Chains A and B, each alone.
Chain A
Amino acid sequence: MSEKPENIDFDAYIRGERPKNFKTASGIELKEFYTQDDVTDRREIPGTYPFTRGIHRDMYRGRFWTRRQQTGYGTPEESNKRMKAVLSAGQTGLNIDVDVVVKLGLDPDHPLVEGDIGLVGTSISTLEDMEKLFDGIPLDRVSTTLIVSPPASCVLMAMYVLLARKRGIPENGLIGTVMNDSFNQLVGPTREAEFPLFPLEGNIKIGIDVMEYCIKNIPRWTILNVNAYNMRETCLRAPEEAAFAMCIAKEYIRKLLDRGFHIDEFASKIAFFTDIGMDFLEEIAKIRAMRRIWAKMLKEEFKAEKERSMWFKTAIQTSGLALTAQQPLNNIVRATIQTLAAVLAGAQSIHTTSYDEAYALPTEEAQKLSIRIQQIIAYETNITKVVDPLGGSYVIEWLTDKFEEEIRKLMIEIEEQGGFIECFKRGWIDERIARGRHEYARRIEEKEEFIVGLNIFEDKEEKLPISISKVYSTEMQKERIDYVKNYKKNRDTSSVKMALDRLYTEAKEGSNIFVSVVNAIENRATLGEICETLRKAYDFELKIG
């Protein structure tokens, strides 16, 4: 606000302001306006096939979306405190993020991991850790999402099952989700991130083992959350996010059918985790199109008969990529607009990204504000009182059709090349990501796309008006390393060895390893030891460092 009058371009006032072009963020050209001639008259009712307008007839009239902010940092004890803080602020479900050490299937005492312990999620290695993490949280009343991919997803899920047993909660009482997506947990599907850690086929197979166990034993558990969000945040565009996610889901569906399940035994246990960026209309259309594509795909291609199998369910997170370090309070406005889009799109649960995340993990205050944004939309705007309020809008319906077309085109391209896994192995996905990143950077550099405070309306003398959370602590990291070392010293090593040997043999034989992982944890094997045993069984060496 300190512009001197001589710096003000008064001609701009005469010119006025207008959009630079008339394309959506993914490049779809928009017309001046849309009329009934642009849309197909579908007369679709919410809660009916193909569920474009939502999977429930009463939607938020029956129940609001779940407020599900990701939490997790430092030790399990610290994370537990934050989990309780967000629940008492009115969060209605938990979303547990683990640190990169867990994501890579390692223990805190591994020589290469010290500096990453507890930074972007909670550090977990033992069943005791899991007990501390969920201390005082009723597993049969609060639904929990475990944000973790194979092979660690198998270990954490097994720990969760054991924790429930210890508390006397039957497995059919557990409610929640294990993300369990083999491609996207670290940063999105790049070969560079995935290949050094674990053999891909083994990774996918272990994920399917977890799904198989859950289908048979934990009836209310969501077995897969296809992580479209992480893919999108590698600078892919909205139709790519949707198409890639659908093609990943197809791969898992085929593999579960190969294990002898009927489609209706598991399709309703598959959900998605999608992104909402700043292009308001486009993002809403994307989610509506995904619902329609999923429903048709399940019915026509996979011959599902139950309606529930045709329900596309999605957790939504607002985009972190869209946030700026410049003028960080603007991010509150961005997150609000994106959250509104997520609600108008019919999300099942929402994580509103916090305004300080271009600097660090959110402070408790920032996290609470994210919950408040959702509560204000839920309780004050009344948009929850009618289902699919934008349904029938000419442009929304036209864009939904357009998105359906664009997504299908890409899906066909992927399927014709042998499916997502094949495209990933061959590097086709990497190429798309590379193109997306350079294109994204170019658009911002050349001001083809405007970001307020970043490449337009900059404030050169800005002082940072927010406080920043400090997570990094060498004491916390040392505490975790010491803990795991002590844990390993104080246990019956022969029973650990026996349990790991059994796991090794079963992994070699190719049978379902889940029960054997449960057994290893009961015998006090750690997460890192279990994952290392699996690597050995696949004759694979970790390639990091």
Chain B
Amino acid sequence: MRKRIILAKMGLDAHDNALRIISRWLKDSGYEVIYAGVYNSAEHILRMVIEEDAHAVGLSFHGGEHIFYTAKLIELFRVNNLNHVKIFVGGIIPPKDVVVLKEMGVEAVFTPGAKKDEILNEIKKSLSEQA
């Protein structure tokens, strides 16, 4: 079965170079990408996950807003029993916050310079573990 992954930017920042590039990489390697684009709220992503029965969500951040929005989404997933949906985060994220995000339950964090193979392998590995 093809895995479905939602790609989104949360909040107001619209820097989307990486999200667009990774979207193409995922599609080329067989994923079904649901491209939510920019300006998403946590509630909107939750609705999409339910409607699309998505396996994972990939979030991209640029301006330091990563913890605020990721925490909101994880909390919504918890309340709605969606803990099986994997969350990946990418973007301009300081090393300390990478640790924080992982502790919060983020599956993997990709920072500037992350390579295509590294990203695809990581996503493949964690989605194959999914029931």
Give me the interface of B with A, judged by CB distance under 8 Å.
10-17, 20-21, 24-25, 37-41, 43-44, 62-65, 67-69, 72, 92-96, 111-113, 115-116
Contacts and interface: CB of A to CB of B under 8 A. Distances in A.
Contacts of A113: 11-12
Given A100-B12, A192-B38, A438-B24, A471 B64 contact: yes
A471 B12 CA distance: 17
B67 A472 contact: yes
Contacts of B13: 100, 116, 120
Contacts of B38: 192-193, 196
A192 B16 contact: yes
A218 to B, nearest CB: 30
A324 interface: yes
A142 B111 CA distance: 38
Contact of A361 (B64, B67, B95): B64
A470 B94 contact: yes
B16 A193 contact: yes
A119 B63 contact: yes
Contacts of B39: 196, 543-545
Contact of A544 (B12, B16, B24): B12
Contact of A114 (B24, B44, B68, B112): B68
Interface in A430-460: 434, 437-438, 440-441, 445, 454-455
Contacts of A115: 10-11, 65, 68-69, 72
A472 B37 contact: no
A106 B39 CA distance: 13
Contacts, number: 106
Given A115-B10, A235-B17, 7 more contacts: A119-B65, A445-B116, A468-B95, A468-B96, A471-B64, A472-B64, A545-B40
* Nearest 9 interchain pairs by C-beta: A115-B68, A544-B39, A193-B14, A100-B12, A120-B63, A545-B41, A325-B112, A116-B12, A441-B21
A156 interface: no
Contacts of A360: 64, 92, 94
Contacts of B92: 357-360
A533 interface: no
Contacts of B65: 115-116, 119, 472
B68 A472 contact: yes
A120 B64 CA distance: 8
A454 B115 CA distance: 9
A358 B111 CA distance: 9
B89 to A, nearest CB: 14
A464 interface: yes
Contact of B111 (A192, A325, A455): A325
A187 B62 CA distance: 11
A58 B68 CA distance: 51
Contact of B113 (A235, A325, A437): A325
Contacts of B44: 545
Contacts of B67: 472
Given A115-B69, A116-B12, A193-B14, A324 B113 contact: yes
B74 to A, nearest CB: 14
Given A101-B12, A358-B92, A454-B113, A438 B17 contact: no
B112 A437 contact: no
A324 B25 CA distance: 21
A294 to B, nearest CB: 28
Interface in A161-208: 186-187, 190, 192-193, 196
Contacts of B64: 119-120, 360-361, 471-472
21 contacts: A114-B68, A115-B65, A116-B63, A119-B63, A119-B64, A120-B13, A187-B14, A190-B14, A192-B37, A193-B16, A196-B39, A359-B92, A359-B93, A441-B24, A470-B94, A471-B64, A474-B68, A544-B12, A544-B39, A545-B39, A545-B41
B41 A112 contact: yes
Contact of A437 (B14, B21, B63, B96): B21
A481 to B, nearest CB: 13
Contacts of B95: 359, 464, 468
Contacts of B17: 233-235, 321, 437
Nearest to B10: A115
Nearest to B43: A545
B69 A324 contact: no
Contacts of A119: 63-65
A326 interface: yes
B114 to A, nearest CB: 9
Interface string A117-144: 0011000000000000000000000000
Contact of B21 (A100, A438, A455): A438
Contacts of B62: 120
A151 to B, nearest CB: 15
A100 B39 CA distance: 11
Nearest to B14: A193
B15 A187 contact: yes
A499 interface: no
A104 interface: yes
Nearest to A453: B113
A233 B63 CA distance: 15
Contacts of A544: 12, 39, 41
Contact of A445 (B20, B68, B115): B115
A357 B64 CA distance: 11
A544 B13 CA distance: 11
B119 to A, nearest CB: 11
Interface string A332-368: 0000000000000000000000000111110000000
Contacts of B21: 437-438, 440-441
B27 to A, nearest CB: 11
